[in-house]
Amino acid sequence: MNDKQEEEFFTQYLQGTSRLSEIYQNTDTPEPSDKINQHIIAEARKAAARKKAINSSWLAKPGSWAATIAIVSLVGLLTLNTWQKEQDELQRPLRETLAPQAPLAEEESGSPVESRFEIKEKKDSRKLIFKSAPAPVLQKAQKKSLSGRVGSGLSTEDIETVKTLADQPLPASSENYSDLSQEPGKLEDAFSSEQQQLLKIKQLLENKQLEEARQLLTQFRKKYPHYPIDPVILRHLSP
Amino acid sequence: MANSVSDEQLIQWYHKGNTEAFEQLYSRYKNAIYHYFYRQVASKGIADELHQDVWLNIIKSSSSFTGQSSFKTWLYKIAHNKLVDHYRRESKQPLYLIQGSLQDSEPESERESANVPDSDPGTLLQEQQLSLALLDGISSLPEEQKEVFLLHEKSGLTLQEIATITDNSFESTKSRLRYAVKKLRQYMAQHLAVEL
């Protein structure tokens, strides 16, 4: 066979008209068994059923995905918010502890520092007043005596009234007190004497010995004309 | 389902869940694919296995068919890759080296049932002999030539399609087919003293 014949035969073969093709087409064509065919078809049906199940599930729906993302985001934000609040609660006591030690911190420690200075000024001014007059010592003594009398039958209203009177500044020109202020021992004796007299008046009132109480009050007023008297006593003994 | 529906349409329908579309596709190509494997590996068991692998792969990856090539090309490409994997796995020599064993391994029924038309006994015997000789000749071909010949002859693929499936150039594919045809003619002439 020369090359020309070969080329002609190959051209025939490509056109499908060669004897070679004819013989080959007559050969038996092996086929897959029915078992294999059934197996493959069954697998195809199973795969299709799985696809349908997946497509019909909520995961395959865009709306479901959007809702899921929204819920997860919301839960995440809430969790973060709660966590931040907890952190703030945990750090607050620490800040409150540290704040007085950091006066240069403007936002947190500004106003407390000012108020502390104000208080200091007031205290200083009171000291000045105390030095010029003995009244504050008297006030202190009176407060003590009054607070000690809470359980002695006075009403809360009466106590408040007495406190108000006690807070009022006493005249600095009082001779008695200015004299007493120069001698602390005498001052204490005087206070105890005045208190004792007032207590006695009070006891007489409680015992309903009004005349005696009134006489004692008159004497007390003559002796201590500027000494504040319990309004309860005044109310009961005033003419 | 009508036969006029294209392969590409059928695979898309199947991807959407239509199992009848798959059955139609399968009936169109099951014999050709099985024949392709059977003639290549000359073993019914291995042909069965490879045939199933290909179709299960089609079922699994039907969504990956993009339509850039025809379904037929895609199907044979998968079949070709399966065959290559098989050879790699088996580290097997090309089957043309075991020509003698082919006759023993082929089912006797197939040898006896060469698809020849009913005619007089003399003609029938001659056709049977020609068919068997040709099958032997095919099995003696080098692997790459045998594949090109089988794809062209039985599957009806064009040279360009075969070139795409086997990842070769058109000229290389054509050359392989030319050599295959030439060797088969020589084989027939040597064994049966038949001039084709």
- Predicted ipTM of the assembly: 0.76
Q: Which of B109, B13, B102 is nearest to A31 (CA)?
A: B109
* pLDDT-based confidence at residue A166 (cuts at 50, 70, 90): low
Whole-number Å distance between alpha carbons of B28 and B39 = 19
Long-range contacts for A152-159 (Cβ within 8 Å, ≥24 apart)? Answer: A152/A202, A153/A206, A154/A230, A154/A232, A155/A232, A158/A230, A158/A231, A158/A232
Give the pLDDT confidence score for residue A175 in this predicted structure: 43
Q: Which of B138, B139, B142 is nearest to B176 (CA)?
A: B142
Banded pLDDT at A43 (limits 50, 70, 90):
very high
Calculate the dihedral angle through the C-alpha atoms of B133, B135, B139, B140, rounding to the nearest 10 degrees: 20
* Chain A residues inside the 8 Å CB shell of B44: 30
What type of residue sits at position B153?
E
Look at A69-83, A172-186, B171-185 and tell me which has the smallest mean pLDDT: A172-186
Q: Model confidence over A114-135: pLDDT tens digits?
A: 444 444 544 444 444 444 444 4
- The residue of B20, B29, B35 whose CB has the most chain A CBs within 10 angstroms, and thus the best one to mutate to test that interface, is B35
Residue of A124 and A231 predicted with greater confidence: A231
When scoring A20, A21, A38, A45 by the number of chain B Cβ atoms within 10 A, the one with the most, hence best to mutate, is A20
* Cα–Cα dist A92/B32, whole Å: 81
* Closest to B98 measured CA to CA, from B47, B42, B45: B42
Q: Which of A20, A31, A33 sits opposite B196 (nearest CB)?
A: A20
Residue showing tokens 């000494």:
A227
Minimal CA–CA distance to B80: which of B168, B139, B185? Answer: B168
Residue B105 CA to residue B50 CA, distance in Å, equals 17
Q: Given this model, what pLDDT does residue B109 score?
A: 43
Residue B157 CB neighbour total at 10 angstroms:
21
Band of the pLDDT at A177, cuts 50, 70, 90? very low
Q: Do residues B31 and A28 make contact, with C-beta atoms less than 8 angstroms apart?
A: no
Distance (Å, whole) CA A105 – CA A192: 51
Report the C-alpha dihedral over residues B29, B31, B32, B38, rounded to 10 degrees.
Answer: 140
Closest-CA residue to B196 (of A15, A1, A14): A1
Which residues, 6 or more positions from A210, have their beta carbon under 8 angstroms from its beta carbon?
Answer: A204, A236, A237
Query: Which of A36, A45, A55 is facing B48, going by the closest CB pair?
Result: A36
User: Which residues in chain B (161-180) have CB-CB distances under 8 A to chain A?
Assistant: 178
Greater pLDDT, B42 or A147: B42
Q: What tokens were used for B174?
A: 């054509």
- Other C-beta atoms closer than 10 Å to the C-beta of B195 total 9
Nearest to A40 among B52, B134, B184 (CB): B52
Per the prediction, chain A carries an average pLDDT of: 71
Which has the higher per-residue pLDDT, A178 or B7? B7
pLDDT in tens, chain B (196 residues): 667 899 999 999 998 889 999 999 999 999 999 999 998 888 899 999 999 999 999 999 888 888 888 999 999 999 999 999 998 887 654 443 333 333 334 443 444 444 444 456 666 667 778 888 888 899 899 989 999 999 998 888 999 999 999 999 999 999 999 999 999 988 888 887 767 6
Angle at A77 between CA A74 and CA A79, to 5 degrees: 110
Q: Ranked by mean pLDDT, which of A118-122, A169-173, A222-226, B12-16 comes out on top?
A: B12-16
State both tokens at B82.
């399966």
- Comparing A9 with A151, the larger pLDDT belongs to A9
- Asked whether B90 and B133 are in contact (CB, 8 A), the reply is no
Angstrom distance (rounded) from CA B40 to CA B141: 10
pLDDT, position A165 = 56
Whether residues B22 and A44 touch (CB distance < 8 A) is answered with: yes
The tokens for B60 are 């699994």
Instruction: Determine contact: B1 vs chain A, CB below 8 A.
Output: no
Q: What is the crossing angle of helices B19-41 and B143-153, to 10°?
A: 140
- Inter-residue contact B79 to B154 (CB < 8 Å): no
Q: What is the pTM of this model?
A: 0.52
Please give the structure tokens belonging to residue B178: 């030319």
Q: Given this model, what pLDDT does residue A75 score? A: 92
Q: Report pLDDT for A147.
A: 47
**Nearest CA distance, A44 vs chain B (angstrom):** 6
Q: Which domains does chain B have, with CATH numbers?
A: 1-95 (1.10.1740.10), 117-196 (1.10.10.10)
Cα B188 from chain centroid? 21
Q: What is the pLDDT of residue B120?
A: 60
Burial of B74 (0-12, 13-18, 19+ CB in 10 A): buried
